[in-house]
Structure formats: structure tokens, C-alpha cells
Chain A
Amino acid sequence: MTLAVLDGGTFYHHDTIYGPRYRALFDRAIYVRDMAIRDLDGVNLLIVPDRINPDLLREHRGLLLTFLAAGKTLVVFGENEAETWAPGVAWTPRPTNFWWWLEADAQPPHRLLDPGHPLFQAVPFADTIWHFHGVLAPPAGARPLIEVPPEEDAAGGVLLYEDRVTTAGRMIVSTLDPFYHHGSGFMPATTRFLDGFLPWARQQAAG
């Protein structure tokens, strides 16, 4: 029944996890530096926020694999070198365009591939759109949800997918970085995203 989240100890993890807006949604926050296997007892869904120190995630890789092998759900956000510790993840960097919305036609490149996925009943596609730092190549059999096409020299790829084939569990993997931006108090799309995503994740944890 439990939704847990890793806490990297930064001010923005603090604000997003312990701030009044979302605090009641998390059953457990685990300070990643002290994480132990018992912290995951009873946890059905674990969120690895963006910008958790990847050295620590590599160190805890065995524990995360055990969690997945037990059939649980792991949500992985961006900027934590997931390709070095999360099974099946292939990530390619892409130059970040923080400014797409200032351009004349302001059309984001994002494409919604799978509007029937239940996540999008909780999170409107428009609320998934902000800058991104890289793209993913999902493993065969995974369900890609949002992609961006190649652009000039930059590789195209997926920004969000669901993977039920690589492990006995379920992984939801994204390059997006909402914990950092919401916790910094500066990017309203990331707040709207979490407004939809976190209650959905809580529902999933309740299973």
C-alpha cells in the first residue's frame, strides 16, 4: 500500500517532498544516503526523483533490483545517470533548449504516442512539456509514451516509457526533471505535472 520517495538532501528535494503541497501523498521518504533494504518493506511504488546522486544509486543498485524482482514499481526521473544503474535504460544526451517557448511558432517537439495509457487521465499531455536533457531508447517490448523526433544533429528518442518486460516488476522511466524545478519554485509546468503524477502514483501504489 505504500508510496515511497528517495530524498537526496538538496533544498529542492526538501521542498518537493516535505513542502505542504505534496507531503501527505508520500507514505515514506527515504534519505538515499542511509537507504537500507528494510526501508522498502511494504513499499509498492518507489520514486527516484531527478538529480539524486548517481554514485549512491549505483551503490544501492542491488537493493533496487531486488525491489523490482519482487514485482514492485520503480519510477525513475531524469538527471541521475539511470543508464548506469537501472536495468534496460539507454540514454543519449541532447542539448537542452530551455527556450523553445520563446521562439516564434513555439511548437514543442513532443509527441504523445500512447494517449490510451491511464497515466494521461491523471496527467494531461500538455503538463509533460518543458525542456529535456536527453532521450531514451526503450528496450524491446516496453511501452513508449512520449517521444521527440531528431533535430539537426540531435538524436530523437523517448522521454517517458513504461517497461514491464526487463524485470519482474514495472519501471516507469523518464528524462524529465520535475522535482528539481518544482522545488526551485520556478517552472509552473513541473508543478502541474506533479499535481497529476503524484496522486496517480499513490493510486498505483494502492494497487
Chain B
Amino acid sequence: MSALLFTFGYRDRAMGAFAEHPAAAGRIARQDLYAFDNLALDGIDALLFSMHADQRFLAARAARIAAYIERGGTVVANGHIAYPYLPEVGGYIPSPGQGLKDLAIHRVAAHPIWDGVSEQDLTFRRGVAGFYGRGGHQPPAGATVVHTVGAQAQPLDFIYRVGAGRVLLHGGNDLWQYGGNDSTARIAPQLIGWLFGGAA
């Protein structure tokens, strides 16, 4: 059981903490994104892409990523999609405004990754809304939408199947950034549990 967490040249503390999280038990390896073409993906359970990933690079490899998922792999992607590197997902649509009605996070389906994480803690950080996500993407038919943002209910977190594999798109700041003194600290260990536990 192992996952590759792709790095982008400079140090990212949240990424380091996630890879070294006790729940990961050494199963998350950091790997330079630009080594992707030389990696054997057989036996890798999951590919984890940061919001800081070079999407031009990834989009040029979309076919390999799609084939990896179809064979049973998991992909977790963060950020806004600017270049199409994931199968079947539309482009990013920002929320229409910066007010609370545009930025409130709503849970529309329960999911083990966010079990016990309050919508309030996702919506606000020190009283400020917008960090978790500020817009959405059009999910494929049949996707499970977990969170939406704003009055227009734009899909922010969703999970969908492709062949034997699955994709989690979080269209905001990296999920592994969350881990403060509130209920969002549950995300990292529960995400690790989902990666390696086999639940949908």
C-alpha cells in the first residue's frame, strides 16, 4: 500500500506534515512531479496532486492518468482545474462574489473523509470565509458531491468512479493544509484512512 504525493520544487510544510502523519505510517512518499514519466505506477494505490502542481505538465499526461485510474488507481486533486488533466471534469467556475452567501460551505452528502468536520469550521478560518474553496467544477454524471459552496451550490468536493478507480477533486486549497485546533484536524487522518481503507 502506497501513495505518491507530488512535490513542486519548493518546500511545503503542510505537505511534509501530511506525508509524515502518523496515520500514514510511511505509506505516503513524496515525489517530484517532473519525474512522473519515469515512474512505474503498478502497485501505487494513489496519486496526490497539490494545488501548486504544474497542470500544463499533467494535462500532457492526461491519458496516462486516466488509464491509471481505470485500472483501479485513486487520484486526489486539489485546486482549480485550469488545464484538463482529469477525466470527465469541467473547468473551474468561481463563485459570483466574496460575500458569505457566496462562500459558505454546505455538506450535501456524508462522507468518511469529513466525518465529524463541521461546516462552520470549513467555512471560516479565524472568522474569515473563503479559504477552503471559492468556486466549483462541473462533476461527471453519477459523482458523489460532498460539499458545495455558496447560494448557487457549486460542487466543491466530489468523488467519482472511472473504470475500476476513483477520483476525489477538492476545488480549493490543499486538503492537507487543514489540521489546526478545530474539527478540520480530522481531515488528514480520515483522508489517509480513505486512501488505504478501500471505502468508496
A interface residue numbers (CB < 8 A to B): 7-12, 14-15, 31, 33, 51, 53-56, 79-81, 99, 102, 184-186, 188
Contacts and interface: CB of A to CB of B under 8 A. Distances in A.
A17 B82 CA distance: 12
A182 to B, nearest CB: 12
Given A10-B51, A33-B34, 11 more contacts: A7-B56, A9-B56, A10-B53, A11-B55, A31-B56, A33-B54, A51-B10, A53-B10, A54-B9, A102-B128, A185-B94
Given A11-B81, A79-B10, A99 B126 contact: yes
Interface string B28-72: 000010100000000000000001111111000000000000000
A89 to B, nearest CB: 14
Nearest to B52: A10
A14 B9 contact: no
B33 to A, nearest CB: 9
Nearest to A31: B56
Going nearest first, the 9 A-B pairs with the smallest beta carbon separation are A9-B54, A9-B56, A53-B9, A11-B82, A14-B82, A11-B80, A55-B9, A54-B9, A11-B79
Nearest to A54: B9
A8 B82 contact: no
B9 A9 contact: no
A7 B83 CA distance: 13
A186 B92 contact: no
Interface in B109-133: 126-128, 130-131
A8 B10 contact: no
A54 to B, nearest CB: 5
B8 A53 contact: yes
B147 interface: no
11 contacts: A9-B56, A10-B53, A11-B51, A14-B82, A33-B54, A33-B56, A53-B8, A53-B9, A102-B128, A186-B130, A186-B134
Q: Is the interface of B mostly helix, strand, loop or mixed?
A: loop
Contacts of A8: 54
A139 to B, nearest CB: 23
A33 B33 CA distance: 12
B136 interface: no
Contacts of B82: 10-11, 14-15
Contacts of A53: 8-10, 34, 54
Contacts of B131: 186
Nearest to A53: B9
B55 A9 contact: yes
A14 B83 contact: yes
Given A53-B54, A185-B135, A81 B10 contact: yes
A53 B98 CA distance: 30
A11 B9 CA distance: 16
Contacts of B134: 184-186
A188 B98 CA distance: 10
Nearest to B135: A185
A15 B126 contact: no
Interface in B72-88: 79-83
Interface in B1-47: 8-10, 32, 34
Interface in B122-171: 126-128, 130-131, 134-135
Given A11-B80, A11-B82, A80 B52 contact: no
